[in-house]
Amino acid sequence: MENQNERKGMPLLGDSFPEMKVQTTHGMINLPGDYKGKWFVLFSHPADFTPVCTTEFIAFQQRYDKFRVLDAELIGLSVDQVFAHLKWEEWIKDNMNVEIEFPIIADTGAVAETLGLIHPGKGTNTVRAVFIVDPAGKFRIIFYYPQELGRNMDEILRALEGMQVSDKNKVAMPAQWPNNEILKDRVIVPPATDKKAIQDRLARAKSGEIECYDWWLCHKQLKK
C-alpha cells in the first residue's frame, strides 16, 4: 500500500496533514503540530499583487473573527517569497485600510507539490485550494477552484461550522443548512442500517423526539 507521506498531489479526505515546517509572515510554523487541538483553514492563492487574490484576502480578514469564534485559524499560502507577502500586506493596509492578521506561508514549491496545488497549464502558480483540517490534524473538507474564480468565504465558514455541528451531535446537515428550503435549520438523523434501528427510529418519532418523512429520512431540532 502506498504510504501517504510519500504520495504527492491532492490529499484525500481523512488523510493526516503531512508534517512540515514552513516560513510565514509570522515566522516559522510547524504544521500541523502548532495547531494541535484546533481547527485550521489553509488556503492557497495564485500570487501576491493580483486582483482576485487581493479581494479574497480582504474577505477572509473581514471574517477572521467569525473563524476564531469557531476555534479555527486561517493560514494563507502561495509560491512567493516572504518579503513579497509582507509588501502585499502593507499595500492592502495602506490602500484598502485592512490589516491582514493571519500568517501567510512563503512556499518554495515544496508545500504546493506535496498538497497538489500547482495548476496544469498555469506555470508555477498555485490554484485556489482550501483545506479545512480538524483538531486531530485530519483533512475534513477540501475545496478546489480554478484561478479565474474567487472563493465564497461565507460558504467556507458554513462548511466549517456544519462539520463541527456534525461531529458534536452525530448528525448530517441538509443542503443549504442552516437555511434549507424544507428543514430550515433542523439537522438530519443518520439513516438506520438494520430493522431494529428502524423500529427504534419509529418509536422516537412517535414520542416526538424526532420527525420523519419516512424511516430513512428523519430530522430533528438541535437544542440551542
Residues with a catalytic annotation lie at: 53
Residue type, 222: L
Nearest-angstrom CA–CA distance, 152 and 150:
7
63's CB contacts (< 8 A; 6+ apart) are 153, 154, 157
Q: 10 Å Cβ neighbour count for 188?
A: 18
Note every long-range contact of 86-90, with CB atoms under 8 Å and residues 24 or more positions apart, other chains counting: 86/25, 87/48, 88/48, 88/49, 88/54, 89/25
The residue whose grid cell reads 516560513 is: 23
DSSP 118: B
